[in-house]
Amino acid sequence: MRLRTVLQAIEIWLEQEREQLPLWVPIGLGVGISAWFILPNSMAWLAFCCGALALICLSMLCPVGGRLRRTVAGAGTLALIGCVLIWGKATWLGQPPLARAMFTTVTGEVISTRPVPAQHMVRAMIRPLQAPDMPDMPDMIRVNIAEGDLPKGLGGGAKVRFRVRLMPPAPPAVPGAYDFAARAYFLGIGATGKALKPIEVLTASREDPPLRERLFRHILDRMDGAGKGIAVALATGDQGAISEADAEAMRRSGLAHLLSISGLHVTALIGAVIFLLMRVMALSQRAALNWPLLLIAAAGGALAGIGYTLLTGAEVPTVRSCVAALLVLGGLALGRDAMTLRLVASGALVVLIFWPDALAGPSFQMSFAAVTALVALAEHQGFKGFAAARDEVPWRKGLRALAVMLATGVAVELVLMPIALFHFHKAGMLGAFANLIAIPLTTFVVMPMEALALVLDVAGLGAPAWWVTERALELLLFLAHSVAASPMASMLLPTLPGGLFALMIGGILWCLLWRMRQRWLGLAPLCMGAIGALFLTPPDMVVTGDGRHVAVRVGQSMAILRSGAGDYVRDTLSEGAGYDGALDPLAELAQARCSPDLCAVRVERGGRSWRLLMTRSATMIDRDRLEHDCTQADIVVADRGLPYWCRPRWLKIDRRLLARTGGLAIDLARAEVHTVAKPGDAHPWIIRTQNGSARQKSSFRRRSLPARDTH
């Protein structure tokens, strides 16, 4: 009787929410895709598919003809389709990585080139011409070429020969870092490297540079200063000309979304085209009276949006925005209001069907999460009533508009926070306030003036418009750096576990996609995930996958083993450790004893004293000295293979261990070690060892700790 009552209550609720059920179609598909990324191997993927089939069978036990039965069956079907979809794409379309690093001479055809002025290099996609002595060469490699080594005639279609050290696409350097290997697999990149001079052009390129590349170089030639990188990004979607300092300031200030071509840019372009077409056609009395002006303008806006999407590289946010804009234009042409959550769900469904691997990236997640939050807020009756236009004095109207913008900014920041913490370990705190100025400045000044400058350049008259664009971009960068300099600009956390991330995202979706009061049940998992994230313990020690770089938490600060490490390595170690500050040289600490070859440091954690020993050079060390130091240390870290007689008290981290585990994050207080690799991971981008087994070991805990003095 109780079960029947519960089922009836669920049926009534689903009937009330029937208009919202289609919104969960891309969510169901995404669950299956996510399962394939999370689960380690084909047996686990097959087990998930069987579980989805079991869910479909279980739906047969629900009341016949009810919405619950169809909902459960649909959920199982969508999850099954999602898992099979990404599994099939990975099997048939991915590019396996190079098995091992190698020095070789490559002769190949240039597919495309991409200048990266901020790093003084050009990235080239090369299709190697297969040679009998290199049967394992990938079908596509990506090489970096220094600007000074760039030969004439290099471009699409050119044939080149050069020496290069090819590497497999890099896995995460430390737990929670960016996984380029997975991304490269679906991009078709099997190896990366830096071309060594001389680079010989066997056949020069006879193709004209693509429009995107010509536009890229034209804008760089027309502008000076730091703002030119952002101008290029707004026009082409390529962020290669933006300096790392400016890019970091945009991220910390919550303005990084302006650099990725998405809804704001596509909407601004389409809106401007429709406005201009309507104004121009209205000048003709015949057109105004007899032509379907709105339909013609919508068609022109659609063509402009499609062209802009193709020009900027058809990245996921741009495709999503273009699909959504086309649906909106179709709705307007039919006289219907298309600005609904169904529009967002339709765009997500299109992207997941054609690019299921995009689900794992931050671009897809942040793009759709932001738009979903905005549309859900706009559909809320209370907010809609507050934001509705009314007759009132100008100052009240201005304050109302400001409050609406601030509310939407805060809503977006809150929704994006879990995604930013999961992928980047940091989230903006002041972005809602910075966007009050940045979005109008970009939408109504920067983009129109840049478009006008490009049009006027046809006649050589674009200089004044470029000057205005440059001043506006300087103001945008000033705002970004000013906000980023605030200690409250961003929140930094250590690596967010997948379980907590799933709780928060699930809670957010539950709150946004339903309409009845049951929607607020999503606050429970959201709060649980948020509380769990706030109580995360940052690691005390982070080791990169090659063993060369180590960061150690000492007191309230962190120190790095090799002080000459680059900014990328420092940022990776800081983010992996959840530390927002400069890394001090380990050798300068009072509790450290360092020589050119070894560095020993004592750290107090968990009520005991830990002794750490790390190698600093490739010089061979005297056995008696190293063996004595090993026996006195709890943990030894080396970027080489350590001999068997080096026996630390707790853990020996050397090249052999790191080859199986990848980078490490160590919590000394809990005596836990977390690694990059997962047990039995058989995803196709995982490099297998010579004995055929994949890199293994995920996170483990030693059974006992060595007895130590506490002096």
The DSSP symbol for 443 reads: I
Residue with tokens 């004595």: 628
Which of 315-324, 547-556, 618-627 bottoms out in mean pLDDT, i.e. has the lowest?
315-324
Domain membership of residue 67 (yes or no) is yes
* Contact criterion met (CB below 8 Å) for 196 and 147: no
Is residue 440 within 8 Å of 466, Cβ to Cβ? no
- Domain presence at residue 24: yes
**Which three-class secondary structure state does DSSP give residue 163?**
strand
In the three-class reduction of DSSP (H, G, I as helix; E, B as strand; rest coil), residue 510 is classed as: helix
Cβ pair 553, 541 in contact under 8 A: yes
At 494, is the pLDDT very low, low, confident or very high (cuts 50, 70, 90)? confident
C-alpha to C-alpha distance for 219 and 359, rounded to whole angstroms: 32
DSSP string, 476-502: HHHHHHHHHTSTTSEEE-SPPPHHHHH
- For the record, the structure tokens of 571 come out as 């940022």
Are 366 and 478 members of one domain?
Answer: yes
Model confidence band, residue 53 (pLDDT cutoffs 50, 70, 90):
very high
**What per-residue confidence (pLDDT) applies to 247?**
87
From the list 592, 533, 532, the residue with the least C-alpha distance to 558 is 592
Statement to judge: residues 572 and 687 lie in one domain = yes
Q: How confident is the model at residue 49 (pLDDT cuts 50, 70, 90)?
A: very high
In angstroms, rounded to a whole number, what is the distance separating the alpha carbons of residues 286 and 364? Answer: 45
d(CA 526, CA 548): 39
Indicate whether 65 and 187 sit together in one domain.
no
Query: Which of 207, 225, 245 is at the close of a domain?
Result: 207
pLDDT tens digit sequence for 413-458 = 888 889 988 988 888 778 778 888 888 888 888 888 888 898 899 8
Sequence-distant contacts of 658-661: CB under 8 A, at least 24 apart: 658/543, 658/545, 658/546, 658/547, 659/689, 659/695, 660/689, 660/695, 660/696, 660/697, 661/695, 661/696, 661/697
Number of domains into which the chain is organized: 4
* C-alpha to C-alpha distance for 277 and 301, rounded to whole angstroms: 9
Residue 497 lies inside a defined structural domain of this protein: no
Residue where one domain finishes, among candidates 44, 68, 93: 93
Query: In the predicted model, is pLDDT for residue 301 greater than 90?
Result: no
SS3 515: coil
The model's pTM is 0.86
Please check the confidence at residue 663 and state whether its pLDDT lies above 80: yes
For the chain, the residue count is 711
Q: Are 638 and 654 in contact (CB under 8 A)?
A: yes
Same domain, 52 and 80: yes
Sign of CA dihedral 79, 84, 85, 91: positive
User: Could you give the CA distance from residue 270 to residue 273 in angstroms, rounded to a whole number?
Assistant: 5
- Determine the pLDDT at residue 467: 92
Same domain (yes/no): 300, 441: yes
Pairing assessment for the beta strands 490-492 and 592-594 based on DSSP bridges? unpaired
The answer to whether residues 147 and 89 belong to one domain is no
DSSP H helices, 106-151, are none
Task: Give me the phi and psi of 380, to 5 degrees please.
Answer: -65, 130
* C-alpha span between 134 and 108 (Å, rounded): 13
**DSSP code at position 699:** E
Beta bridge partners of 109: 127, 159
Backbone angles phi, psi at 123, to 5 degrees: -100, 125
Q: Are residues 161 and 196 in the same domain?
A: yes
Cα–Cα distance, 697 to 664 (Å, whole number) = 11
- Write the CA distances from 602 to 384, 547, 589, 613, 624, integer angstroms: 60, 19, 10, 9, 21
Reported confidence tier of residue 213, pLDDT bands at 50, 70, 90 = confident
Among 39, 74, 93, which residue terminates a domain?
Answer: 93
Distances (CA, A) of 274 to 343, 402, 666: 20, 26, 57
**Same-domain status, 87 and 115:** no
Structure tokens at 129: 């011409």
297 in the same domain as 269 = yes
What sign has the CA pseudo-torsion 420, 424, 429, 432?
Answer: negative
pLDDT single digits (tens) 1-39 = 677 788 888 888 888 998 999 999 999 999 999 999 999
Range of the domain at 133: 102-207
Q: Which runs of consecutive H residues, i.e. helices, occur in 163-262?
A: 180-187, 211-222, 227-236, 244-252
- Note the pLDDT of residue 135: 67
**In terms of C-beta density within 10 A (0-12 exposed, 13-18 middle, 19 or more buried), how is residue 701 classed?**
exposed
Mean of pLDDT over the chain: 85
Percent of the chain exceeding pLDDT 90 equals: 35
Cβ atoms of 552 and 586 closer than 8 Å:
yes
Q: Residue 15 falls within a domain, yes or no?
A: yes
Banded pLDDT at 708 (limits 50, 70, 90): very low
H, E, C per residue of 280-341: HHHCCHHHHHHCCHHHHHHHHHHHHHHHHHHHCCCCHHHHHHHHHHHHHHHHHHCCCCCCCH
pLDDT single digits (tens) 509-555: 999 999 888 899 999 999 999 999 989 889 999 999 989 999 999 88
pLDDT band with cut points at 50, 70 and 90 for residue 701: very low
Sign for the CA dihedral angle at 181, 183, 185, 188 comes to negative
Least confident of 185-189, 569-573, 616-620: 616-620
Quick check: is 707 in a domain?
no
Q: Are residues 172 and 88 in the same domain?
A: no
Statement to judge: residues 44 and 76 lie in one domain:
yes
Reply yes or no on whether the pLDDT at 71 is more than 90.
yes
> Of the ranges 203-212, 358-367, 636-645, which one carries the lowest mean pLDDT score?
203-212
- Is residue 176 located within the same domain as residue 299? no
What per-residue string of b and e applies to 120-132 under the rule 16 or more CB within 10 Å gives b? ebbbbbbebeeee
Q: What Cα–Cα distance (Å) separates residue 704 from each residue in 137, 299, 557, 675?
A: 46, 70, 28, 19
CA distances to 560, 578, 616, 659 from 620, in Å: 22, 34, 11, 21
Asked if residue 17 is part of any domain, the answer here is yes
Mean pLDDT of 229-253: 85
CATH number at residue 139: 2.40.50.140
Helix (H) or strand (E) holding 177: none
* Residue 526 resides in a domain: no
In 418-540 the beta strands, taken as DSSP E runs, fall at: 426-428, 490-492
Give strand ranges (E) for 22-180. Answer: 102-116, 121-128, 141-146, 159-166
**Does some domain include residue 354?**
yes
